[in-house]
Amino acid sequence: MKDELVLEEKDELYEHFNFTVDKGTDLLRMDKYLLNLIANTSRNKIQQAAKAGCILVNGKPEKQNYKVKPLDVISVLMAHPPREIELIPEDIPLDICYEDNDIVIVNKHAGLVVHPAYGNYTGTLVNALMFHFQNQSGKNQESPRPMLVHRIDKNTSGIMIVAKNEYAQIKLANDFFHHTIDRKYLALVWGDFKEDEGTITGNIGRNPKDRLVMTVFPDGEEGKHAVTHYKVVERFGYVTLIECTLETGRTHQIRVHLKSIGHPLFNDASYGGDQIIKGTTFTKYKQFVANCFKLLPRQALHAKSLGITHPLTGEKIFFDSDLPDDFQSVIDKWRHYAKHKEYEEDITPEFDLTHREKESIHGPKE
């Protein structure tokens, strides 16, 4: 049997497979055929994927009872949750914007990890949702389980959607895969922009010198295709508030893309934004920035809004959120500074490398 498997988008919690059926293959139900080829799945998951229109044969959606034929080209999108450990319900406060039998929309606070993993087995959004779902009844009278289709960084705040059943999960995963989800972020970044809007295109992948951070590969030979659109919302001279729209959804996409064009996020320690990159040499200015860092001890990034097609009803729905207090207080301080201070003695950025990158070259500070 000749099969070609393509695995994509692991960071986005789904897998995309392509199979070409061998010439000598007998007629076989599609769900049985795929069950023998896709590891760590079940017949029910395959049937849910077919029901959601996520299994294509020769470019056309087919049901699970379709009989595969020689040379059929089968494309499958499957939800691929993070490696599961025992999920412990925990009573953690949540800001829930909307909930029904199929989805829940959460306004995640900064500092909350999305799902259990190495180093964070408890205290996550998934643990909190397990507790929240305990008294609810889903299919077969069992409590729903939180099923992720995307995530946002621990220290990024804002709107997230979580599925409550397999059908909703695979339907939403398909929308994320085909980039039909409308996501907008607000970011405070270092520096001013000559233009009012623009687009950043550049493949994103793990930094070969530091696997904990991402980097842009401008030649396009490595990493995954990524596109970020941005628009200036408000200028404060040395920093700028921008709105970012994601065309793709790679790990740390906004953070690494903006660093690549010389505008790292304000106080983003992983990408160099936790240093004074633009401004004056005045001591008072340095203290002002230090005070802002103290008020906002994380990267200045907020998932502002999310527009989706409801996986069950097909209705277009939209969710928006206010900036959290820490982010808003820093915006207010910069707005006041920009109004009352003159920009003199501009300095050229001296911090092209992050602390992490410097340590990889020179070793850690004593």
For every residue of 111-143, DSSP letters joined together read T--SS-BTTBSSSSHHHHHHHHTTT---GGGPP
pLDDT at 78: 77
What's the confidence (pLDDT) of residue 85?
61
For residue 26, the SS3 value is coil
Assess contact for 136 and 144: CB atoms under 8 A: yes
Q: Which two tokens stand for residue 249?
A: 């959804």
Amino acid, single-letter form, for residue 86: E
Does domain 10-79 correspond to CATH entry 3.40.50.2300?
Answer: no
Q: Which portions of the chain are predicted below pLDDT 70? A: 1-14, 80-86, 118-120, 138-142, 342-366
pLDDT value for 293: 98
Determine which one of 153, 268, 320, 346 is catalytic: 153
Whole-number pLDDT of residue 51: 84
The pLDDT value given to residue 355: 57
Q: Which positions ≥6 away from 249 have C-beta within 8 Å?
A: 11, 12, 150, 176, 179, 183
Provide the edge-to-edge strand list for the sheet that holds 55-57. Answer: 14-20, 73-79, 55-57, 60-61
Domain 96-177 is classified in which CATH homologous superfamily? Pseudouridine synthase (3.30.2350.10)
Report the mean per-residue pLDDT for the chain.
86
Q: What pLDDT score does 346 carry?
A: 47
Q: Do domains 10-79 and 96-177 have the same CATH topology?
A: no
Given a contact cutoff of 8 angstroms between Cβ atoms, the answer to whether 233 and 244 are in contact is no
CATH of 182-362, one of 3.40.1260.10, 3.30.830.10, 3.30.70.340, 3.30.2350.10: 3.30.2350.10
User: Which tokens in the block code for residue 54?
Assistant: 């996520």
User: What does the alpha-carbon distance between residue 250 and residue 225 come to, in Å, rounded to a whole number?
Assistant: 9
Which residues have a Cβ under 8 Å from the Cβ of 295 and sit 6 or more positions away? 326, 329, 330, 333
Q: Which of 233, 241, 236 is nearest to 278 (CA)?
A: 236
* pLDDT tens sequence across 133-168: 988 876 655 678 898 989 899 999 999 999 999 899
Of 233, 222, 201, 212, whose CA–CA distance to 153 is shortest?
212
- pTM for this prediction: 0.80
Residue 134 to residue 136: CA distance in whole angstroms: 6
Closest C-alpha among 4, 6, 321, 8 to residue 173: 8
The number of C-alpha atoms within 13 Å of 164 and in the hemisphere containing its C-beta is: 23
Active site residue 332: no
The pLDDT value recorded for residue 9 is 35
Which residues are CB-contacts of 45 (< 8 A; sequence separation ≥ 6)? 78, 79, 166, 170
Question: Where do the structural domains in the chain lie, given as residue ranges?
Answer: 10-79, 96-177, 182-362
User: What is the DSSP-derived secondary structure letter of residue 274?
Assistant: T
